[in-house]
Amino acid sequence: MSGSLLIAATSSDAGKSVVTTALCRAFARRGLSVAPFKAQNMSNNSMVTAAGTEIGRAQWVQALAAGAEPEDAMNPVLLKPGSDRRSHVVVRGRPYGTLGSGEFAGGRAALAEAAFAAYDELRVRFDVVVCEGAGSTAEINLRDWDYVNLGLAQHDAIPTVVVGDIDRGGVFAALYGSVALLEEEDQALVAGFVVNKFRGDVSLLAPGLDRLTALTGRPTYGVLPHESGLWLDAEDAVALEERPRASWTGGTDRLRVAVVGLPRISNFTDVDALTLEPDVDVDWVRGPAGIGDADLVVVPGTRATLADLRWLRTTGLAEAIAAHAERGGAVLGICGGAQMLGRVIADPDGTEGEAATVDGLGLVDAATRFGPDKALRLAEGRWSGEDVTGYEIHHGRLSVRSGEAFPGGVRDGAAYATMWHGTLESDGFRRAFLAAVASGVGRDRFESDPSVSFASARQERIDRLADGVEKHLDVDALLALVRDGVPAGLPTLAAGPVVVPPQAPPGSAVERVEAQPAETPTEGPA
C-alpha cells in the first residue's frame, strides 16, 4: 500500500491533531510504515529532533504514535508567534525569517515549495502519510496562498476527511458549509466527514448524518465520543486549566504548584508530568492572588521574554513571586522563565523584536544575552543521583555567575533555573526535584508515587486514542481511501449566488495581516 490521507476540519481545535495521532497508531498496528505530516504549524510548543532540528510538538508525538523517528520533514514550516504582530519562521527545522503585518521574508512560494518537497520525501519512504490540516478547511480568504489544507491536497490528489466538533454546536452546517464554500476542484478531493466530541446516544445523530450524506453525497466515517480526561501534548495553550489531574492518594502532604500563564507562553507541556503525580496540585495563575499558598511557582518558557517580563511587573506577579521566594517558597524558571529569574537580560540587536537591557527578578546569580544564533539540541545529565534528559530551544544564552549546579542552569537556595525543556518527564529526576522542594517548604510527609511513568502514560494515551478510533471510525474505509484515492463522481455543492460587493471608498482598504496572534496563540494556517 502507498498513499496519503489529509485530516482537515471545520475549525481550529476540532480534533485534527487527535484524529491524526490516533490514525498514525491504528495504521501502524496493521504493519504499515506511517509518517505524520503538517505542512505548516502556528505554535510555540515545539520539540527538537535527534538531528537537532525543530518541529511542532504535535508532529513529534504523532511520529511516536506511528513508531517513526521524528524528523523535520514531518513539519517543514513552523510559525512561532513572538510579539503581537510578528512571528518567527522555522523552515525544515531551522530559523528562516520573520512574518509580520503584510510582509514575509522570502515569500509564500518558497514556503510552499519547502512544504511540498518535504511531503514528497515522506511519500517515497513511507507506506502511508497521514497529513494534518490547519485551522478551517474553508478559509477561502487564504486559499490563493494555501499549502496546508486543500492546497496540499491538490499537490498529490490527497483524499481529505473533514472533522467537525459537535461540542461547539452547528456541526452539520459547519460540515456542509466546509465543502460548499470550496471551488469545484477542491470539493472533488473531500471524501467524507468525522464527527468529534459527541456526548450521548449516537443513534440521536442518525437522521442528521443520513441527511448530510444525502445532501453532500459523502459518508460520515464515524462519530468519536467526547473524552474529557484524554489529552496529548498539544500545539496550543488552550484550556490549560482543564487539563486532567491525578487523584490524591490521601496519605501524604500535598504540594501546590502555581504555574504562571504567560501571555506568550511556549512549551507549556513542560509541566504536564506534574499533573500525573497524585499528591501534587497544579494550578495555572495569571495574577498575584494565584500565588497565594503555593509551595512551588513555575515560570515557564516564552517566545517573548522581555515582553512577558514586563507583563509580570504590570500585573503584580513579579512582586508576588519575589515575596513568595522571600518566604522560602520554591521557584522554577524554565528557558525564558529561567532568564527572567536572573539579574539582567540584554537583547542589544532586538532578536526578540526590541533592543533593550532590563533587570530580571534577581532570584539567581545569572545573566542572559540574546543573539541571532539559535540553540537547538537534546541534552542529558544527572542531578541528585538521577538521570535527566531535556532539550534546548533558545536564542538567549544564560551565563551563570555563582550558585549550585542544576541541569541546564543553576540553583540558588529554593530558586531553580534551567534552560532545558522537558526535564520533568524524567521520572527519577522529577521525584528528586519534588522531594527537594517539599523538604525546603516543610512538607516532610510528601512522597512521590514511584509507579508514575510519564513515557508510559503518554503511550497509554496514544493507545486509548487508537482504540477509540478503531471502535468508532471505519478505519478500513479510511485505509481504502489511502489505497485507492478519492472516489470518482462526487457531487459538487453550490454555495449560493455570488454577490459582488460595491466598490470600497478610497482609504477604506483593509490590510491583510499575515500573522497577528492573540495573547495565547491558536492554531491556524496564518
**Which pLDDT belongs to residue 500?**
46
What single DSSP character describes residue 473?
A: B
Would you say residue 175 has pLDDT above 60?
yes
Q: Per CATH, which fold does 247-451 belong to? A: Rossmann fold (3.40.50)
**Which pLDDT belongs to residue 507?**
38
Least confident interval from 11-20, 103-112, 360-369: 103-112
- Predicted TM-score (pTM) of the model is 0.87
Architecture field, domain 3-231+460-484: 3-Layer(aba) Sandwich (3.40)
**Which pLDDT belongs to residue 252?**
66
**For residues 352 and 95, which has the higher predicted lDDT (pLDDT)?**
95
Q: How far apart are CA 395 and CA 376, in angstroms?
A: 9
One-letter amino acid at 208 equals: G
Respond yes or no: is residue 131 known to be catalytic.
no
Would you say residue 100 has pLDDT above 80?
no
Q: Compute the residue count for the chain.
A: 526
Q: How far apart are CA 242 and CA 79, in angstroms?
A: 25
Q: How far apart are CA 4 and CA 129, in angstroms?
A: 5
The stretch 493-516 carries a mean pLDDT of 45
What are the cell numbers at 390? 531535556
Would you say residue 185 has pLDDT above 60?
yes
One-letter amino acid at 57 equals: R
Q: The cell 549550585 sits on which residue? A: 404
**Which pLDDT belongs to residue 107?**
66
What are the cell numbers at 50? 535527534
**Which pLDDT belongs to residue 80?**
86
What are the cell numbers at 98? 520573520
- Edge-to-edge strands of the sheet including 386-400? 356-359, 344-347, 366-383, 386-400
Would you say residue 341 has pLDDT above 50?
yes
**Which pLDDT belongs to residue 98?**
77
Among residues 88, 394, 421, 472, the one annotated as catalytic is 421
**Which pLDDT belongs to residue 511?**
30
List pLDDT tens digits, range 289-304: 999 999 999 999 998 9
Q: Do domains 3-231+460-484 and 247-451 have the same CATH topology?
A: yes
Sign (positive or negative) of CA dihedral 399, 403, 404, 410: negative
Least confident interval from 16-30, 71-85, 252-266, 387-401: 71-85
The pLDDT confidence band at residue 515, using thresholds 50, 70 and 90, is very low
Please, which residues bridge with residue 357 across strands?
A: 346
The pLDDT confidence band at residue 249, using thresholds 50, 70 and 90, is low
List pLDDT tens digits, range 39-85: 999 888 999 999 999 999 999 999 999 999 999 999 999 998 865 56
**Which pLDDT belongs to residue 239?**
44
What are the C-alpha distances in Å from 19 to residues 35, 234, 467? 14, 13, 11
Respond yes or no: is residue 335 known to be catalytic.
yes
Q: How far apart are CA 177 and CA 160, in angstroms?
A: 15
Q: How far apart are CA 136 and CA 403, in angstroms?
A: 49
**Which pLDDT belongs to residue 102?**
58
The pLDDT confidence band at residue 109, using thresholds 50, 70 and 90, is confident
The pLDDT confidence band at residue 429, using thresholds 50, 70 and 90, is very high
**Which pLDDT belongs to residue 82?**
67
Among residues 335, 394, 395, 472, the one annotated as catalytic is 335
Domain segments of the chain as ranges: 3-231+460-484, 247-451
Q: How far apart are CA 177 and CA 363, in angstroms?
A: 54
CB 53 within 8 A of CB 92: yes
Q: ∠ at Cα 322 (344, 252), nearest 5°?
A: 125
The stretch 151-164 carries a mean pLDDT of 98
**For residues 501 and 11, which has the higher predicted lDDT (pLDDT)?**
11
| Residue 190 φ then ψ, to 5° | -85, 110
